[in-house]
C-alpha cells in the first residue's frame, strides 16, 4: 500500500518509556536528511532548525539522539500516522505546566483528543490511553480524576508533518545500498558545510594516519560481529530484540566494539569533500588502536575546540584512566563523528545505578534526634458527620449581592448569570455568588458545592485559581506503614552528615468509597519503597513535614501509573522522593542541591508548612 495517506512523525524515547514527538519543523528537518541519502552524512544537527535543541544531534546510523553537553543517548524512531489525523492536519494539543509553559501531549493522546473534538463530544476520558485525566472541551481544561485538580489545555495549529513516501511495510535503510551510494556520489556536490560538526569530521579524516597493512588484515570482516544498525523505519528501539533504551546497563562487562560498514565509511556530512586516499574503504580503514598518543591528543583537542566554539557548556569528569579531566560529551560525540568518518567506535559501560546503601546491622540503625518513634501507620481522618457541603463552604465564603461582570472560572459562565454546571443539582440557588475570604476569588456557590462533592469531602476547599487551601487538606492514601531512622552512610553531595532512610510499606487491597473505583482491588507495585534524606537540620525539617503529609494521607494515592500505564495501582502523589542512594541516573538521587527546597515547596502546595506541623503536634 502506498503511504500517500500517511505522515511521518519523528519521536524520541523519554525516561518513562514513552515516545515523545519532535515538532513538525524538526521532523521536516530530520526527514530531509533521511531523503538526501548518504550525502547528508548520517548526522542531523537539531539546533539548525530549533535553537532550544542546540545541544542535540541525531545519529541516523544507530537511530539515537545524542546530547553534546551531557553525553546522554536516547533512541529515536520514524513513525507513521494517518494523514487525516491531528499530525496530518497540523493540529497540536498541549497542556499548561505549573510554570506556565505549554507541553504537547504524546502523539497517540493528541490524536485521540482531536478525534473526540471533531465529533463534538463534550469531553474525553484519557484512561484508555494510560492517563487518569478527563479533557473537558467546554472549559478547555484537563481534570485529574483522582485529585480533581485542573490544568488548562489548548489546541493550536502548526505545520503539517511531512508526507510519507514509498510503500508501507518497506523499512528504510541507512546508509543506502552501495549502488545507490555510488549513484548519489556521482551527482553534483553542494558547497562544504561549515557547521562545527562537519568541520570536525573533515579534520578527523585529514589527520588520521593510514593503518599498517598487518593491522588492516588482522581480522576478516566476517570476524566482526555486532548488532545491525537501526535505520529509519526499522524496528523501534522499544520492540523485542531491539537496542538498549536509556538507563539500561550494557549487555556485557566488556566494552562493545562496533565496526562501521563499508557504506558508512564513505558517508560524510552534506557537502563534505571526499576522504583522502587511505582514509576510506576496507583497505584504508583506520583502527582506533593504531592512533598514537599524539594523534589521540590532537583529536581530543580538536573536539574540545569545536565544542567551545559552538557554545556548548562543558563539565569536568574523569576519563577511563581516572587521571585527566575530559568533557562528558567527548566520548559520545567522538563516537558519532568517527563513525561518520569511517573509524571503528568503542562504546563503554554506562555509570552504575546505586539504589541502596551498603548493608547496615540493627545496632547501627539509630533513631532521629528530635523525632519521636521510628514508625507510624496511616490514620484515616473523616470529615465531621452532619456537615453538609453548604455548611462547610459557608465558613470560607462571603456572599456577594452585586457580583462583578466577569467569568466564573469553574463553569465559564458570567457571574451575573446563573451557573452553567449541568451535573447533580446542589441545594443552593444557581445564581448565588460567593467570594473566598483569604484569596478573594469569586465563583458561583453552586459551582463550588459541585467541586466539593467531586473531591475528598474532608472539610477542606482549595481555590481552583490560586490553589489556596482552606481548612486541612487530606488525601486518599490507602493504609500502610512509614518507617524512618538514621544509617551511618553519607549521600553524594552531603559528606558531612549521615542519612535518614524512610521505608514505605503499602499492601494491595480493596478500594474504599473515596477511591476512583470503590469495591475494586488495587495493586501496590515496588513496595517497600526506600527513600533518602540527608541527616541535616533541613533534612530533619523535611522529614517532620513528610510525617504530617503521611498522617494526612497525601504521600500516595490510587490512580494510573505514568510509568507503566497500569490503572488502579498505588502511585506517588505530587511530593517527590529520592529513591537512589548513591547515584542520580534517573533524576531521583543525589547530588541535587535544590531538592530539599523543592520538596518543601511541594509540601507547601499541599498546605503543609512548619506552622501546620506545630498545629498537628498540638
100-104, 323-327, 407-411: which range is least confident on average?
323-327
* Helical packing angle, 328-340 and 196-207, nearest 10°: 70
294 vs 592: which has the higher pLDDT: 592
* Helical packing angle, 293-309 and 328-340, nearest 10°: 100
Residue 202 has pLDDT above 90, yes or no: no
- Among 529, 486, 509, smallest CA distance to 380 is for 509
How high is the pLDDT of residue 247?
37
Q: What average pLDDT does range 36-57 have in this prediction?
A: 82
How high is the pLDDT of residue 426?
67
How high is the pLDDT of residue 380?
57
How high is the pLDDT of residue 520?
95
How high is the pLDDT of residue 335?
57
How high is the pLDDT of residue 206?
56
Q: What average pLDDT does range 88-92 have in this prediction?
A: 92
For Cα atoms 477, 478, 480, give the angle at the middle one, nearest 5 degrees: 105
Cα–Cα distance, 300 to 391 (Å, whole number):
72
pTM confidence score = 0.48
76-80, 98-102, 105-109, 116-120: which range is least confident on average?
98-102
Omega into 528 within 30° of 0, i.e. cis?
yes
Q: Which grid cell is 197? A: 560538526
How high is the pLDDT of residue 194?
56
The answer to whether 481 touches 460, Cβ cutoff 8 Å, is no
Q: Which grid cell is 458? A: 474532608
What band does 592 get if pLDDT is binned at 50, 70 and 90? Answer: very high
How high is the pLDDT of residue 250?
36
pLDDT digits (tens, 9 = 90+) for 221-260: 333 333 333 333 333 333 333 333 333 333 333 333 333 3
DSSP state of 287: P
Q: pLDDT averaged over the chain?
A: 74
pLDDT digits (tens, 9 = 90+) for 114-161: 999 999 999 999 988 878 899 999 999 999 888 888 999 999 999 999
What percentage of the chain has pLDDT greater than the value 70? 66
What band does 184 get if pLDDT is binned at 50, 70 and 90? Answer: very low
Residue 497 has pLDDT above 60, yes or no: yes
H helix or E strand, kind and range, residue 530: strand 529-534
What band does 551 get if pLDDT is binned at 50, 70 and 90? Answer: very high
How high is the pLDDT of residue 488?
95
168-177, 224-233, 287-296, 389-398: which range is least confident on average?
224-233
For Cα atoms 50, 51, 55, give the angle at the middle one, nearest 5 degrees: 100
Cα–Cα distance, 603 to 611 (Å, whole number):
12
How high is the pLDDT of residue 342?
53
Cα–Cα distance, 144 to 373 (Å, whole number):
35
Residue 530 has pLDDT above 90, yes or no: yes
Query: CA dihedral defined by 191, 196, 201, 203, rounded to 10 degrees?
Result: 90
Cα–Cα distance, 163 to 11 (Å, whole number):
15
- Among 261, 216, 257, smallest CA distance to 42 is for 261
524 vs 207: which has the higher pLDDT: 524
For Cα atoms 504, 508, 511, give the angle at the middle one, nearest 5 degrees: 110
Q: Which grid cell is 32? A: 530531509
How high is the pLDDT of residue 351?
67
Cα–Cα distance, 599 to 127 (Å, whole number):
28
How high is the pLDDT of residue 568?
92
How high is the pLDDT of residue 443?
94
H helix or E strand, kind and range, residue 256: strand 256-258
Q: Which grid cell is 559? A: 490512580
239-253, 457-471, 536-550: which range is least confident on average?
239-253
Residue 163 has pLDDT above 50, yes or no: yes
Q: What average pLDDT does range 292-314 have in this prediction?
A: 50
Cβ of 16: how many Cβ atoms within 10 Å?
12
The answer to whether 42 touches 174, Cβ cutoff 8 Å, is yes
What band does 373 get if pLDDT is binned at 50, 70 and 90? Answer: confident
Cβ of 582: how many Cβ atoms within 10 Å?
18
302-316, 420-434, 560-574: which range is least confident on average?
302-316
How high is the pLDDT of residue 278?
35
Name the strands in the sheet holding 442-444, side by side, starting at the edge strand that comes first in the sequence: 397-399, 433-436, 442-444
pLDDT digits (tens, 9 = 90+) for 190-201: 555 555 545 554
Residue 286 has pLDDT above 80, yes or no: no
Amino acid at each position: 500500500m502506498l503511504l500517500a495517506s500517511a505522515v511521518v512523525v519523528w519521536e524520541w524515547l523519554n525516561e518513562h518509556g514513552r515516545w515523545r514527538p519532535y515538532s513538525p519543523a524538526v521532523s521536516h528537518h530530520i526527514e530531509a536528511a533521511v531523503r538526501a541519502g548518504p550525502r547528508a552524512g548520517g548526522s542531523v544537527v537539531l539546533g539548525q532548525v530549533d535553537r532550544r535543541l542546540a545541544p542535540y544531534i541525531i545519529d541516523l546510523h544507530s537511530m539515537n539522539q545524542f546530547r553534546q553537553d551531557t553525553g546522554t543517548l536516547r533512541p529515536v524512531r520514524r513513525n507513521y500516522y494517518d494523514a487525516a489525523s491531528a499530525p496530518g492536519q497540523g493540529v497540536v494539543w498541549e497542556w499548561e505546566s505549573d510554570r506556565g509553559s505549554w507541553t504537547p501531549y504524546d502523539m497517540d493522546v493528541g490524536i485521540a483528543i482531536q478525534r473526540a473534538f471533531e465529533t463534538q463530544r463534550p469531553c474525553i476520558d484519557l484512561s484508555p490511553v494510560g492517563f487518569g485525566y478527563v479533557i473537558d472541551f467546554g472549559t478547555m481544561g484537563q481534570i485529574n480524576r483522582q485529585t480533581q485538580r485542573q490544568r488548562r489545555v489548548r489546541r493550536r495549529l502548526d505545520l503539517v508533518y511531512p508526507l510519507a513516501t514509498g510503500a508501507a511495510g518497506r523499512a528504510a535503510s541507512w546508509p543506502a545500498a552501495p549502488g545507490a551510494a555510488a549513484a548519489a556520489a556521482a551527482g553534483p556536490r553542494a558547497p562544504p558545510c561549515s557547521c562545527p560538526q562537519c568541520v570536525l569530521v573533515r579534520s578527523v579524516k585529514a589527520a588520521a594516519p593510514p593503518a599498517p597493512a598487518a593491522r588492516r588484515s588482522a581480522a576478516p570482516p566476517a570476524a566482526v560481529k555486532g548488532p545491525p544498525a537501526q535505520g529509519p523505519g526499522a524496528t523501534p528501539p522499544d520492540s523485542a530484540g531491539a537496542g538498549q533504551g536509556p538507563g539500561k546497563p550494557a549487555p556485557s562487562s566488556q566494552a562493545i566494539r562496533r565496526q562501521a560498514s563499508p557504506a558508512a565509511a564513505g558517508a560524510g556530512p552534506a557537502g563534505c569533500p571526499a576522504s583522502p586516499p587511505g582514509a576510506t574503504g576496507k583497505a584504508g580503514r583506520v583502527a582506533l588502536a593504531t592512533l598514537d598518543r599524539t594523534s589521540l591528543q590532537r583529536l581530543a583537542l580538536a573536539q574540545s575546540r569545536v565544542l567551545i566554539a559552538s557554545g556548548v557548556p562543558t563539565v569536568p569528569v574523569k576519563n577511563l584512566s581516572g587521571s585527566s579531566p575530559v568533557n562528558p560529551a567527548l566520548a559520545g560525540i567522538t563516537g558519532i563523528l568517527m563513525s561518520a568518518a569511517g573509524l571503528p567506535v568503542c562504546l563503554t559501560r554506562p555509570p552504575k545505578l546505586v539504589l541502596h546503601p551498603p548493608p547496615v546491622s540493627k545496632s547501627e540503625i539509630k533513631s532521629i534526634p528530635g523525632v519521636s518513634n521510628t514508625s507510624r501507620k496511616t490514620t484515616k481522618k473523616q470529615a465531621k458527620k452532619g456537615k453538609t457541603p453548604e455548611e462547610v463552604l459557608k465558613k470560607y465564603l462571603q456572599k456577594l449581592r452585586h457580583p462583578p461582570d466577569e467569568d466564573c472560572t469553574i463553569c465559564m459562565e458570567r457571574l451575573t448569570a446563573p451557573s452553567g454546571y449541568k451535573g447533580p443539582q446542589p441545594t443552593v440557588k444557581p445564581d448565588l455568588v460567593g467570594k473566598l475570604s483569604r484569596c478573594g476569588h469569586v465563583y458561583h456557590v453552586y459551582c463550588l458545592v459541585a467541586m466539593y462533592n467531586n473531591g475528598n469531602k474532608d472539610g477542606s476547599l482549595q481555590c481552583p485559581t490560586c490553589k489556596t487551601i482552606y481548612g486541612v487538606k487530606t488525601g486518599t492514601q490507602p493504609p500502610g506503614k512509614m518507617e524512618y531512622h538514621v544509617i551511618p552512610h553519607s549521600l553524594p553531595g552531603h559528606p558531612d552528615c549521615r542519612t535518614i532512610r524512610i521505608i514505605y510499606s503499602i499492601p494491595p487491597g480493596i478500594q474504599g468509597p473515596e477511591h476512583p473505583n470503590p469495591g475494586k482491588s488495587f495493586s501496590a507495585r515496588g513496595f517497600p519503597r526506600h527513600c533518602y534524606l540527608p541527616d541535616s537540620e533541613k533534612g530533619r525539617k523535611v522529614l517532620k513535614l513528610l510525617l504530617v503529609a503521611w498522617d494526612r494521607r497525601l504521600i500516595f494515592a490510587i490512580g494510573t501509573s505514568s510509568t507503566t500505564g497500569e490503572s488502579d495501582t498505588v502511585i506517588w502523589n505530587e511530593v517527590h522522593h529520592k529513591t537512589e542512594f548513591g547515584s542520580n541516573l534517573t533524576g531521583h538521587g543525589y547530588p541535587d542541591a535544590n531538592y530539599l527546597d523543592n520538596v518543601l515547596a511541594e509540601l507547601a502546595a499541599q498546605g503543609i508548612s512548619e506552622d501546620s506541623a506545630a498545629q498537628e503536634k498540638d
